[in-house]
């Protein structure tokens, strides 16, 4: 029994090594590894026979032989065949001739019947075929030994039948483990491939979403330029703002990857919160007019500063403002409010739109969650990311059919007058 367990252990050991080395190794080295590992398994099984009945050795060498051949191919099969013969010849004894007959028969079946079609079989078929092959091989070995030496079939029936069953069951178990490991590896590779495709699609959708915002604003200014009776000063203002938004679109395309990472390599500067909020409100004015939305500004602080990146800060507020305007399908009011409390600047964007439920609020900032029919949810995700990078926090209060308020709190920074 002890040697039986040793044989089973050293038949299963190559399967563990198969997972560690074969699956994660370059193709040109895989068969070499298989040949070496299963050769060692064969020799160890032959060194520790399960029992020795009148000079006839019982071991599980042919399981390692068949496994290596089926999963390594014809060259590995021939190599393992040579290992069996040479090592059995080295051990000596008349049993060499039985080993020659058995291994030659197995090699022929493997080369011409099993190896060419094995990978097309289902798991159940693979297990059944290999178990039948090893069981048949054991029976043929008994018959050959009895024919040549005339004694093996006189052995206890329990010994012979238990060996056939042990060899067949161990073979089936080994094939199951190998196929399981291969299927796990295949699923891992497919999952990795799908994750890369998902990341690529998310990036493409996100860039498209971010670029659409400045283009929409620019379109609004261009439409205003067609208005009759517009004076030159307003034309120049609209043109300047349009060019600024187009520049912002270019910046988004070239620098968008920074939104997916912590913002560690961006230029920070002191931002006058009133000026920046005023800029965003002016930029969103044409788009709001197109949606029959009025914009109201309530700036209750003056000369207060925050530390951040101007372009990213604009991007954050424009994303939230655009979502607010689009939530008011039948028109409404958007209020920009700025207050200061406990050394923190508080920005509030309040709309009179459709509002959100508590479940919808909880999912804000999650990629591809959106309440809009054609939205992606990425604009809010980017806004949340920018606020976090500025060491601020963002809260949302909303009631269905009443409106939504986004409250952004950002630490106040030292004003320019204090740094001069």
Cα distances (angstroms) measured from residue 87 to each of 81, 83, 84, 192, 231: 10, 6, 5, 43, 100
pLDDT of 133 above 50:
yes
What pLDDT does residue 262 have? 46
pLDDT of 405 above 80:
yes
CA dihedral 359, 347, 297, 413 (to 10 degrees): -170
**How much is the average pLDDT of 111-131?**
92
Confidence band, pLDDT 50/70/90 cuts, at residue 81: very high
**How much is the average pLDDT of 256-280?**
73
Length of the chain: 420
**How much is the average pLDDT of 297-315?**
89
Lowest mean pLDDT across 182-191, 279-288, 383-392:
182-191
Confidence band, pLDDT 50/70/90 cuts, at residue 271: very high
Percentage of the chain with pLDDT > 90? 29
Confidence band, pLDDT 50/70/90 cuts, at residue 321: very high
Percentage of the chain with pLDDT > 70? 81
Confidence band, pLDDT 50/70/90 cuts, at residue 99: confident
pTM for the structure as a whole? 0.51
pLDDT of 59 above 50:
yes
What pLDDT does residue 166 have? 82
What pLDDT does residue 417 have? 46
**How much is the average pLDDT of 131-135?**
90
pLDDT of 408 above 60:
yes
Contacts of 219 by beta carbon, 8 Å cutoff, 6+ apart: none
Choose between 334 and 52: higher pLDDT: 334
What pLDDT does residue 229 have? 78
Find, among 103, 94, 104, the residue nearest to 52 by Cα.
94
* Cβ count within 10 A of residue 394: 20
Highest mean pLDDT among 52-66, 178-192, 349-363: 349-363
**How much is the average pLDDT of 79-103?**
88
Domains and CATH numbers, the chain: 2-194 (1.10.1760), 261-419 (3.30.565.10)
Highest mean pLDDT among 12-21, 179-188, 253-262: 179-188
What pLDDT does residue 70 have? 92
Phi, psi torsion values for 81, nearest 5 degrees? -60, -45
Contacts of 23 by beta carbon, 8 Å cutoff, 6+ apart: 181, 182, 185
Reported as a single tens digit per residue, the pLDDT across 332-381 is 999 999 999 888 999 999 999 988 888 888 877 665 455 554 444 567 77
Confidence band, pLDDT 50/70/90 cuts, at residue 183: confident
Confidence band, pLDDT 50/70/90 cuts, at residue 44: confident
Q: What is the 3-state secondary structure (H, E, C) of 266-307?
A: CCCEEEEHHHHHHHHHHHHHHHHHHCCEEEEEEECCCCCEEE
**How much is the average pLDDT of 63-73?**
90
Rounded to whole angstroms, the Cα distance separating 173 from 133 reads 14
């Amino acid at each position: 029994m002890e040697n039986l367990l040793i044989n089973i252990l050293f038949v299963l050991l190559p399967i563990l090594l198969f997972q560690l080395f074969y699956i994660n190794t370059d193709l040109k080295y895989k068969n070499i590894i298989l040949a070496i590992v299963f050769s060692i398994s064969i020799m160890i099984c032959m060194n520790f026979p399960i029992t020795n009945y009148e000079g006839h050795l019982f071991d599980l060498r042919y399981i390692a032989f068949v496994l290596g051949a089926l999963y390594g191919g014809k060259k590995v099969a021939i190599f393992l065949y040579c290992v069996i013969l040479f090592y059995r010849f080295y051990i000596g004894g008349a049993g060499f001739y039985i080993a020659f007959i058995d291994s030659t028969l197995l090699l022929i079946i493997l080369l011409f019947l099993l190896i060419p079609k094995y990978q097309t079989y289902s798991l159940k078929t693979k297990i059944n075929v290999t178990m039948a092959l090893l069981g048949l091989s054991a029976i043929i070995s008994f018959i050959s030994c009895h024919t040549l030496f005339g004694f093996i079939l006189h052995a206890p029936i329990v010994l012979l039948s238990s060996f056939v069953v042990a060899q067949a069951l161990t073979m089936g178990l080994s094939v199951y483990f190998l196929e399981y490991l291969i299927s796990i590896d295949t699923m891992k590779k497919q999952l990795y491939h799908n994750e890369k495709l998902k990341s690529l699609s998310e990036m493409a959708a996100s860039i498209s979403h971010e670029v659409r915002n400045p283009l929409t604003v620019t379109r609004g200014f261009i439409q205003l330029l067609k208005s009759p009776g517009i004076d030159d000063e307003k034309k120049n203002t609209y043109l300047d703002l349009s060019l600024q938004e187009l520049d912002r679109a270019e910046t988004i395309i070239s620098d968008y990857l920074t939104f997916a990472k912590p913002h560690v390599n961006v230029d920070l500067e002191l931002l006058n919160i009133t000026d920046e909020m005023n800029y965003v409100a002016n930029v969103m004015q044409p788009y709001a007019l197109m949606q029959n939305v009025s914009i109201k500004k309530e700036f209750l602080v003056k000369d207060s500063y925050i530390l951040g990146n101007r372009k990213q800060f604009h991007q954050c507020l424009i994303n939230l403002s655009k979502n607010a305007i689009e939530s008011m399908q039948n028109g409404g009011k958007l209020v920009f409010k700025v207050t200061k409390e406990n050394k923190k600047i508080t920005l509030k964007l309040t709309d009179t739109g459709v509002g959100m439920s508590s479940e919808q609020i909880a999912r804000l900032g999650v990629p591809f969650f959106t309440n809009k029919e054609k939205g992606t949810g990425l604009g809010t995700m980017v806004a949340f990311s920018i606020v976090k990078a500025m060491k601020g926090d963002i809260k949302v209060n909303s009631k269905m059919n009443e409106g939504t308020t986004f409250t952004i709190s950002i630490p106040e920074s030292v004003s320019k007058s204090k740094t001069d």
